[in-house]
Amino acid sequence: MDNSQNVNTALLVMDAHILHRLDDEKVRDAATGHLQKAIATARRAGLPVVYVVVTFRQGWPEVNVANKAFGAWKQSGGAPGMEEPARFPPALAPQAGDLIVTKRRVSAFTGSDLEVILRSGRIEHLVLTGFATSGVVLSTLREAADKDFRVTVLSDGCADRDEEVHTVLLTKVFPRQADVMTVAEWEKTLKR
């Protein structure tokens, strides 16, 4: 593939280490397959693959109990899959050369060094995938757009527990700030 037009693009694989938390096995398996394809496509094109994980130290010292998203988990002793180090399903495991960025909140930027890595690599275009569409994908998309990154969301590379919210975000909200396409459609843009 001629990737000269894509040298400033990176694929973000966000919170794939907690995809097991998605109850619907059919949706989880489909998302895993699409993520595998997106990762393979990025690697073939020579694009950086950046895994973004949400993890906390033992005892969750980064979390205030007032935080509605994470505070209840902290008080109950944590949540499976969100402790350091992150553990990936074998099908989605990072390979040598992939970057792993640890965040401490919902957005991939908050509590991480993601922006430093992206700016250092002169990355201007982010291709977003992940779980959950209404969590990390939404929060990262909004922040990335505010930071003047060009953004693409791979619709079938995202999953959410709530299919209606997933659909509304992909069809009505995200197109205001990003290009939304399938993994197959994105792969075709890289072959141009």
Q: What is the reported pLDDT for 79?
A: 81
Is the model's pLDDT at 7 over the cut of 70? no
CATH number, position 8: 3.40.50.850
Mean pLDDT of the chain: 92
Tens digit of each residue's pLDDT (9 = 90 or more) over 125-163: 999 999 999 999 999 999 999 999 999 999 999 999 999
Is the model's pLDDT at 55 over the cut of 80? yes
Q: Give the list of residues 6+ apart from residue 37 with CB closer than 8 angstroms, or none.
A: 183, 184, 187
Q: How many domains does the structure of the chain reveal?
A: 1
User: E strand or H helix at 45, and its extent?
Assistant: none
Whether the CB-CB separation of 186 and 129 falls below 8 Å is answered with no
Task: Please state the rounded mean pLDDT for residues 19-32.
Answer: 89
Q: Give the list of residues 6+ apart from residue 65 with CB closer than 8 angstroms, or none.
A: 71, 74, 75
Domain ranges, residue 48: 4-191
Tens digit of each residue's pLDDT (9 = 90 or more) over 96-131: 999 999 999 999 999 999 999 999 999 999 999 999
